Amino acid sequence: MADLKFKRVLLKLGGEALSGEGGKGIDPMRAEAIAQRVVHIHQMGVDLAIVIGAGNLWRGVLGLDRGMDRATADYMGMLGTVMNALALMDAIERAGVVVRVQTAIEMRAVAEPFIRRRAIRHLEKERVVILGGGTGNPFFSTDTAAALRAVEMGADVLIKATKVDGVYDSDPAKNQDAKKLDHLSYIDVLNRRLEVMDNTAITLCMDNNLPILVLNFWEEEELLRALKGEKVGTLVSKGEDI
Say how far apart CA 126 and CA 45 lie, in whole Å.
8
In order along its 242 residues, the chain shows pLDDT tens digits of 568 999 999 999 999 999 987 789 999 999 999 999 999 999 999 999 999 999 999 988 888 999 999 999 999 999 999 999 999 999 999 999 999 999 999 999 999 999 999 999 999 999 999 999 999 999 999 999 999 999 999 999 999 999 999 999 888 888 888 999 999 999 999 999 998 999 999 999 999 999 999 999 999 899 999 999 999 999 999 976 65
pLDDT of residue 242: 59
What gap in Å lies between CA 156 and CA 150, rounded to an integer? 8
Strands 183-184 and 8-13, by their bridges, are: unpaired
Residues above pLDDT 70, as percent of the chain: 98
Statement: 8-236 belongs to CATH 3.10.180.10: no
**Half-sphere exposure of 176 toward its Cβ, with a 13 Å CA cutoff?**
0
Q: What local confidence, expressed as pLDDT, does residue 172 receive?
A: 83
Is pTM beyond 0.85? Reply is yes
CB contact set of 174 (below 8 Å; sequence gap of 6+): none
- Name the amino acid, one letter, at 225: R
Q: Which residues pair with 101 in a beta bridge?
A: 130
Residues with Cβ within 8 Å of residue 184, at least 6 apart in sequence: 167, 194, 196, 234, 235, 236
Contacts of 168 (CB under 8 A, 6+ apart): 178, 179, 180, 181
**How would DSSP label each residue in 55-83?**
TTT--HHHHHHTT--HHHHHHHHHHHHHH
126-180 pLDDT, tens digit per residue, is 999 999 999 999 999 999 999 999 999 999 999 999 999 999 988 888 888 899 9
User: Concatenated DSSP letters for 176-215?
Assistant: TT--EESEE-HHHHHHHT-SSS-HHHHHHHHHTT--EEEE
CB 60: neighbour CB atoms within 10 A?
Answer: 21
**Domain extents for the chain?**
8-236
Bridge partners of residue 129, in order along the sequence: 49, 100
